[in-house]
Amino acid sequence: MRFVSLISENKNSDHAQGLSSELKAGHSIGPVTVADEHLFIKKGFKYYYIAYKEAVRIFRRVRRLHANICCGDGDIEVEYLVISAGERELLEITLPGKKAAQMLIEELKNRAPYLDTKAPIKETEDKNEVAG
């Protein structure tokens, strides 16, 4: 396994050994594993990780995608987990469904209660407008 930090480049083998044991002890939901001190994301043969204390916000994002299916049109809701540090988003991961996304957010709240799990409020262009 190869571990890649979302924040820093730490290639210490002792650190990787500790991460491997923490990963095995964690709880997996789709491609995401919630462990004691880190969140792991599996992409291909790599595991990306971030310590909870390094992340500023980890939240759910739902997008509606228009789909043409055999019997007509419809919208499909796709769930994502977004990890951000500071003002920038580091990673967006597709989750298996709504139930998995809700379970993942609850698990994150239990492991790291200080972590912000709410989506940021969208700023509008007319926020300076005064109601008349």
Q: Please give the structure tokens belonging to residue 9.
A: 């480049």
pLDDT digits (tens), the chain, 132 positions? 788 888 876 555 457 778 999 999 999 999 999 999 999 999 988 999 999 999 999 999 999 888 887 777 788 889 999 999 878 899 999 999 999 999 999 999 999 999 999 888 876 544 444 444
CA dist 39 and 50 (Å) reads 5
3-state DSSP helix/strand/coil % of the chain, to nearest 5: 20, 45, 35
Helix, strand, or coil (residue 84): strand
Residue 23: the pLDDT is 92
pTM, whole model, 2 decimals? 0.80
The answer to whether 39 touches 52, Cβ cutoff 8 Å, is yes
Handedness of CA 50, 56, 60, 64 (dihedral sign): negative
Query: What is the identity of the amino acid at 3?
Result: F
Burial 69-85 (b: 16+ CB within 10 A, else e): eeeeeeeeeebebbbbb
Question: pLDDT digit string (tens) for 100-130?
Answer: 999 999 999 999 999 999 888 876 544 444 4
Rounded to an integer, what distance in angstroms lies between the CA atom of residue 18 and that of residue 54? 18
User: What is the amino acid identity at position 112?
Assistant: A
CA atoms within 13 A on the CB side of 27: 11
Provide the token pair at 108.
């994150």
